[in-house]
């Protein structure tokens, strides 16, 4: 009986109760596992493959005994051609994502044994959802530019931060990761990465892309763009690890391994396509996949606060006879034609959108970075609204002060003292 027919049936669960299997997701790995477990023959082979998967995690498949290796490969072939055929997982579905990806990598246990080329994404292809997020972003951007806001109009990264601050969800989740990624010396990088992923999974791309890909003409703007992911915790370390070690760490984690496979597929470069990408809608899917890497062991960021080039925080020195593989890992970000053109295209789009925005007035203030090691002077926004919006002003000022990179408010007397120093400095 075919899979589509089985999906409409009532099946017996392992506890003996009736279980209704959803018909709408025929190739989801969670649904496939439910169907397999209810089938004795499939379940027995699947249990064998789970044991094999644990063995693969401890040692290379080629180091297994000949009989054990063949038994595992046969089990994998059988399972992949059963209910799990072409099964995928939803993109960034939080609670279910890890469970689904665990199943996917059991079914594809040998996929990462050869080299770092995964190139087959475990995620379902989903059509772009139509929502009011872009309209909401434009409304907040217009509201910001229509107010008597004092902000550096040459700093689109700061403007993107201010629009995020006007949206409760964006502001709250951004403040969460900023505070966690700035806490402690050294910081808790795992916790920082988890909260970064939470931000990028739950906040609309219409808020995320202006934050990550804002076009900069000067170093002050580039510094804020560089600091978007709090790189002192999420990106940097005391010394650069070897890229091969970084890759090995990523392959041991289902989230990172899956995001990397998605990135390799969606950002695969092409020398013949006009947008530099192999995939249809290359720039859109590539940027989404790139954002998915942030908050993993292979978190990328800009090379510096004066560059729009991105890279991994790793090196290929002392790579021995694996130098070529190491260079390919580093080059998949630093020299990726598809990724580079996607980022440039998004920055050009953001710049074009910014040109139709009303020019904002300026006032300087001192922004104290919360890394505990240095301070820098950059521009930060202060809002002057109509009388009826005073409560909103107070709320936003409190929100801005709670955020690590939102700026420090100065009193009028202090501004009088600081302004000449800022102009001279």
pLDDT tens digits, 373-392: 333 322 233 322 333 333 43
Cα–Cα distance, 378 to 385 (Å, whole number) = 23
pTM of the model as a whole: 0.76
Phi and psi at residue 149, to the nearest 5°: -100, 135
Cα–Cα distance, 389 to 404 (Å, whole number) = 25
Instruction: Give residue 148's pLDDT.
Output: 52
Phi and psi at residue 202, to the nearest 5°: -100, -20
Instruction: Give residue 419's pLDDT.
Output: 40
Residues of the chain with pLDDT under 70: 1-26, 56-65, 93-94, 111-116, 126-133, 146-153, 354-425
CB 401 within 8 A of CB 368: no
For the record, the structure tokens of 147 come out as: 């107010």
Which residue in this structure is represented by tokens 């439910």? Answer: 34
pLDDT tens digits, 180-213: 999 887 899 999 999 999 999 999 999 999 999 9
Closest CA to 254 of 27, 98, 122, 114: 98
Instruction: Give residue 149's pLDDT.
Output: 52
Q: Which domains does the chain have, with CATH numbers?
A: 3-107 (no CATH), 156-355 (1.10.220.110)
Closest CA to 336 of 407, 252, 279: 279
Bridge partners of 123, per DSSP, are 89
Strands (E) located in 204-345: 300-302, 310-312
For the record, the structure tokens of 49 come out as: 């493959």
Residues in the chain: 425
Cα–Cα distance, 212 to 214 (Å, whole number) = 6
C-alpha radius of gyration, the chain, whole number: 25
Instruction: Give residue 352's pLDDT.
Output: 77
Instruction: Give residue 153's pLDDT.
Output: 64
């Amino acid at each position: 009986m075919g899979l589509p027919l089985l999906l409409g049936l009532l099946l017996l669960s392992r506890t003996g109760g009736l279980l209704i299997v959803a018909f709408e997701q025929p190739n989801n790995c969670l649904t496939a596992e439910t169907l397999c477990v209810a089938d004795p023959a499939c379940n027995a082979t699947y249990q064998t493959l789970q044991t094999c998967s644990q063995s693969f995690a401890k040692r290379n498949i080629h180091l297994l005994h000949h009989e054990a290796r063949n038994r595992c490969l046969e089990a994998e072939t059988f399972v992949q051609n059963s209910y799990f055929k072409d099964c995928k997982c939803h993109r960034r579905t939080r609670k279910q994502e890890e469970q689904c990806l665990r199943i996917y990598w059991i079914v594809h246990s040998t996929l990462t044994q050869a080299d770092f080329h995964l190139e087959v994404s475990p995620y379902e292809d989903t059509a772009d959802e139509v929502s009011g997020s872009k309209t909401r972003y434009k409304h907040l951007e217009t509201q910001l530019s229509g107010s008597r806001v004092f902000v550096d109009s040459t700093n689109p990264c700061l403007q993107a931060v201010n629009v995020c601050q006007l949206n409760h969800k964006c502001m709250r989740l951004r403040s969460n990761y900023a505070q966690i990624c700035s806490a402690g010396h050294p910081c808790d990088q795992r916790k920082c990465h988890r909260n970064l992923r939470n931000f990028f999974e739950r906040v609309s791309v219409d808020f995320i892309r202006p934050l990550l890909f804002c076009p900069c003409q000067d170093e002050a703007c580039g510094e804020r763009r560089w600091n978007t992911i709090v790189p002192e915790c999420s990106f940097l370390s005391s010394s650069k690890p070897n890229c091969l070690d970084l890759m090995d760490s990523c392959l041991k984690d289902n989230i990172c391994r899956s995001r990397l496979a998605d990135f390799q597929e969606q950002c695969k470069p092409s020398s013949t396509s006009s947008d530099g990408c192999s995939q249809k809608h290359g720039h859109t899917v590539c940027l989404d996949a790139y954002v998915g890497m942030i908050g993993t062991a292979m978190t990328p960021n800009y090379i510096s606060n004066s560059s729009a080039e991105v890279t991994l925080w790793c090196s290929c020195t002392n790579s021995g006879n694996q130098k070529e593989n190491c260079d390919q890992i580093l080059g998949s970000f630093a020299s990726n034609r598809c990724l580079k053109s996607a980022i440039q295209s998004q920055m050009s789009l953001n710049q074009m959108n910014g040109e139709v925005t009303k020019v904002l007035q300026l006032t300087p203030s001192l922004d104290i970075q919360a890394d505990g090691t240095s301070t820098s002077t950059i521009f930060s926004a202060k809002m002057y609204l109509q009388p009826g919006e005073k409560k909103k002003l107070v709320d936003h000022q409190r929100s801005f002060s709670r955020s690590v990179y939102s700026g420090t408010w100065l009193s009028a007397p202090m501004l009088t003292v600081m302004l000449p120093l800022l102009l001279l400095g």
